[in-house]
Chain A
Amino acid sequence: MLDLRSVIGDEDISSAEGIERACATITQKEKEVNERLEAILSRQCQIESKLSGISRSMSTLHSVENDTKSLADRISQTAALAESVSAKVRRLDEARSRVSECQQRVHDLIDLQLCSQGVMTAIREEDYEKGAAHVSRYLSMDQNLLQRTADDVTGSVTSVSKALQTLEEATTKMREIISQKFDEAVRKDDLASVERFFKIFPLLGMHKDGIAKFSSYICQKLEVKAQKELRTSMDVAKAEKRMAVAFADTLTSLLENFARVFKVNQPIIESCYGTGYLLNMYEILQVECDKEVRNLILEFNKNRQIAKRVAQINEYMKSDGGVTLGHFRKPSGGSVDKLNPKDIDSLIGEITIMHSRAELYFRFMKRRVVADLEGSSLEDEDKKAKLSRSENIITKCDLSRQMQELLGTYLLLERYFMEESVLKAIALDTFEQGQQCSSMVDDVFFIIRKSIRRSTSTQSMNGICAVINNAASCFEGDFINALKGPLKNGYPSGYIDLAQAYNAIQSSIQQGKLQTSDAEQARTNFIVQLNNADMSTEFIETLWATMSEEIRGAFANMTQRESEILESCMSGLKGVKDSLKAVVDFGMQQLKSSAIKPRLNPWVDQFLTYNHRLTEEELAAYEAGETFAQFLIVQIDGLLNSFKSVLSPRNYDALVSILATEVTSRLERAIKKSTFNRLGGLVLDQEVRALGTYLTGATSWSVRDKMARLTQIATLLNLEKVSELSEYWNPNENNDMPAWRITPNEVRSILILREDFRIEDIKRVKI
């Protein structure tokens, strides 16, 4: 029920108007309620029809529920049925497999009978393939099962056990016969029979024996061949004019024979024996290979006098100890006759070939054995063990050891060759007029490149890296010392003036020959070595780059580790560049102290003899004559010109740079010792500009930076008035002017040099 109060609100119903208003409100409400009621009633019909629909559906739903229940029942019945059917099927399967097993046993038994009858006949008729096939059939039967069958059927049929017995005996007999026959064939060297019986072994379950017997047969053949080839190696080499590589050729042939045998027999082994047996053969062959290589190396050592040469080198290197500059090392005791590096050149080449052949042989064998094992059906464990055994055979076999020793010999010889040839190149260093460098740079780099390149043909990363290390040592030792030697004594400054030089030339002409003096030669030597060092910094970079590329090209399958080791050794070679740069720096410093400073300083100091407090007339007179700047530039130009044509471009630039630094700092010192008036300052500014222009023209890089301080000092001394400074003062860099390189205190002390500037003004200037 409507609460009246809530409808009329807080309308005051004590007044007539209030009541009227309340009445109106109530009427309004009533109208609204009526409308709502009507709306609700209008939907009654709809709702009723829906309800009747629902009750009709209810009955349908009931029938659905019943249907569902019956369906569920039927499903569970079906499931039970299926269960029982599948159980039956399973039983049926079991039964069938038993039947087939049974059939197999029956087959086995039948075969057993056939085999036992056939095998003896076959043996009698010497049809070993047939006999072996019977045995193989017998061996393929489940031996335990056979035994059980035999036990099961005892009593009724005794022939089963009898057949078994026959076959067992036959197997033993066949094994004996085949072994005998094989041995006989070997004795008669009847290759066809050897191969015939070799194929029978696996049928008799004698895989390992077969491989072993066959391998040792092959070894016999290889031994004979190897010995014959070794005996005739010298004659063959002589005939083919390959004396220098006679042993490399023999070793190549020897290893190739082993590899060939391996390759030829691999298909037979794989088809008759299955996979996984190559390792057994390799193991036996490797022992024979080791033996033959040992004989060969003995012969090689004897023929090429390895022991003697190694001893000679060792004794010689020990006797020397230190390094002699620019000369051959001389044998000290006199007992050692020195080995000529040229004489061992071809021997070194032969050794690298030998070593590379062994590397290739190992790679070949390993690839085949590993592929065979990987493709086999061996258990993982077994496979892993066999893989590591094959690895072990290769690393521990005598051939490996022999080759490691050979590599050691190679490295010793190569080092001797490299060091001696480098010393020789240094000793025979020649300089041709007009060149900037002498012969030793090209020669030394040629030798070292040759050695590194040759090392790559050993196919051994260990060998290559060692040669690279030795090359770096050689550069850092003998070569750098040779470059540095002439630089140590400084640049002989020679003639003090032109008159002296003139006299010297006159006197030589009078003597009828224009002799180059010792000092002249020393000067040339100094310059040439300085250029050599500069050129070498470029060459070493090139050597590093080309060798890196060549080695990486030759060893496409480097391991990560090998690559890192190589990288590290190569960076040692590249590091030689730093040492070479240090030599250049050292030489430049020497040049500065012995050639630049002593000549430059007196010229610059001439500045002090000039008057810098000029009157107008004096200025005119000064400018009419040779000015200081002109004098200085002529002198410097003369000095630089004497170096320009002989120094390498980079060295010449460095020289100009050093000279610019020297001139500016010396001149600055002279300026600070002088006093100027307005005109003096003007002249100075012009002269500094002239000097700057000259130096800029003398070199390819900018001297502006080096001239900055001096230019600024000249600017200060060229001021009209002290107050003008604020127009120029620019402590920070901007586009037009370089930053001031002079501190405010320095500015003041420079301004004081102008006698016409007043101290008070200078003190007052704001900077």
Chain B
Amino acid sequence: MEDYKFLFKVVLVGNAGVGKTCLVRRFTQGLFPPGQGATIGVDFMIKTVEVEGEKIKLQIWDTAGQERFRSITQSYYRSAHALILVYDISCQPTFDCLPDWLREIQEYANSKVLKILVGNKTDRDDREIPTQIGEEFAKQHDMYFLETSAKEAENVERLFYEIAAELIEQARSKEPISQHSRSTADSIGLSSLGSKANYLSQSGCCSSLSSHST
């Protein structure tokens, strides 16, 4: 056995060019890649983080935003523990597509999946989507909300750490049940996603996540 207690799959989705790959690279490698080409199909990175003294392996799936890769990326939704839906705060069309993405998620993902809405590129001064608009959209659709900048490393660590912490909490609340029927770290994670009602009731989370972002 490797030395981690939980394994979680995190999948990033959203229009092409919103900065998914940059967010993942920033988090896993600590850099902002210059001349980043569009992602082909899917890519994946692993990072082990420690939350509350617990080692957690995050398997981060970076999907291609371009339409023609949709049938590839859709196949990764089902096994995701968390879905990060990304838009570009300086690009209205990427925000306008969010309902389409939600439909995809609804169709393919586990209904209990943890969903996070991320407005990326806060470093840009040509903002088109005010923070409040993003936040409201997230609230309406039962998602966490956070604004980030992969370029300035703003809120990127926080995004993934909060996800890890939330997933652990959900896993813990289910752990006793899952323990005897499932043994691998992987399936503990999968089977232990909290019920929707469970995290919906934590209405404070939404604001707690967004309070830092300006």
Contact = CB atoms under 8 A, between A and B. Distances in A.
A472 interface: yes
B212 interface: no
Interface stretch (B116-124, B133-141, B164-172, B180-188): B180-188
A464 B4 CA distance: 28
B43 interface: yes
A473 B187 CA distance: 15
Contact of A408 (B72, B79, B107): B72
B186 A582 contact: no
B75 interface: yes
A565 B63 CA distance: 13
What are the nearest 5 A-B pairs in CB distance? A462-B41, A469-B75, A411-B71, A466-B75, A408-B71
A575 B107 CA distance: 21
B78 interface: yes
B69 A408 contact: yes
B186 A571 contact: yes
A422 interface: no
A588 to B, nearest CB: 12
Interface string B50-82: 000000000100000000111110011011000
A462 B42 contact: yes
A404 interface: yes
A565 B68 contact: no
B34 interface: no
Contact of B181 (A467, A476, A582): A582
A89 B130 CA distance: 81
A407 interface: yes
Given A575-B186, A575-B190, A469 B76 contact: yes
Contacts of B68: 401, 404-405, 408
17 contacts: A321-B107, A395-B37, A412-B71, A462-B40, A462-B72, A465-B42, A466-B71, A472-B78, A472-B79, A561-B43, A565-B44, A572-B79, A575-B187, A578-B182, A578-B184, A581-B181, A585-B181
B71 to A, nearest CB: 4
Contacts of A415: 71
B72 A411 contact: yes
Contacts of B44: 561, 564-565, 568
Contacts of B78: 469, 472-473, 476
Contacts of A578: 181-182, 184, 187
A568 B190 contact: no
A470 interface: yes
A404 B43 CA distance: 15
Contacts of A568: 44, 59
A396 to B, nearest CB: 8
Interface string B77-90: 01100000000000
Interface residues of B, number: 24
A476 B41 CA distance: 24
A463 interface: yes
A470 B187 contact: no
Range, interface on chain A: 20 to 34
A585 B177 CA distance: 14
Interface in B78-129: 78-79, 107
B38 to A, nearest CB: 9
Contacts of B75: 411, 465-467, 469-470, 473
A581 B70 CA distance: 32
Contacts of A571: 186
A460 to B, nearest CB: 8
Interface in B132-168: none
A36 B90 CA distance: 112
A746 to B, nearest CB: 26
Interface in A397-448: 401, 404-405, 407-409, 411-412, 415
B69 to A, nearest CB: 7
Contacts of A572: 79
A222 B69 CA distance: 31
Residue in A467, A561, A565 whose Cβ sees the most chain B Cβ within 10 Å:
A565
A472 B190 CA distance: 14
Interface in A521-571: 561, 564-565, 568, 571
Contacts of A470: 75
A426 B68 CA distance: 32
A395 B36 CA distance: 13
B71 A404 contact: no
Contacts of B79: 469, 472, 572
Contacts of B59: 568
Residue in B42, B181, B184, B190 whose Cβ sees the most chain A Cβ within 10 Å:
B42
A567 B182 CA distance: 20
B17 to A, nearest CB: 15
A395 B40 contact: yes
A467 B72 CA distance: 8
Nearest to A467: B75
Interface string B12-41: 000000000000000000000000010011
Contacts of A581: 181
A462 B42 CA distance: 7
Contacts of B41: 462
A437 B37 CA distance: 51
Contacts of B69: 404, 408
Given A476-B78, A582-B181, 4 more contacts: A407-B71, A466-B75, A469-B79, A575-B186
A585 B182 CA distance: 12
A206 B187 CA distance: 65
A571 B184 CA distance: 11
Contacts of B37: 395
A732 to B, nearest CB: 27
A407 B182 contact: no
A344 to B, nearest CB: 15
A473 B110 CA distance: 11
Nearest to B37: A395
Contacts of A404: 40, 68-69
Nearest to B190: A575
Given A395-B37, A561-B44, A466 B186 contact: no
Contacts of A321: 107
A321 B108 CA distance: 10
A186 B51 CA distance: 71
A395 B70 CA distance: 18
A678 B46 CA distance: 70
Residue in B43, B46, B71, B76 whose Cβ sees the most chain A Cβ within 10 Å:
B71
A458 to B, nearest CB: 11
A462 B72 CA distance: 7
A463 B72 CA distance: 7
Contact of A466 (B40, B72, B181): B72
A465 B42 CA distance: 10
Nearest to A318: B107
Contacts of B181: 578, 581-582, 585
Contacts of B46: 564
B191 to A, nearest CB: 8
A407 B190 CA distance: 29
Contacts of A473: 75, 78
A568 B46 CA distance: 11
Contacts of A462: 40-42, 72
Interface in A448-492: 462-463, 465-467, 469-470, 472-473, 476
B66 to A, nearest CB: 8
Residue in B41, B75, B187 whose Cβ sees the most chain A Cβ within 10 Å:
B75
A369 B161 CA distance: 45
A564 B190 CA distance: 19
Contacts of A585: 181
B212 to A, nearest CB: 32
Contacts of A463: 72
A192 B66 CA distance: 47
A467 B181 CA distance: 27
Contact of B72 (A395, A407, A476, A582): A407
B181 to A, nearest CB: 6
A193 B34 CA distance: 48
Contacts of B186: 571, 575
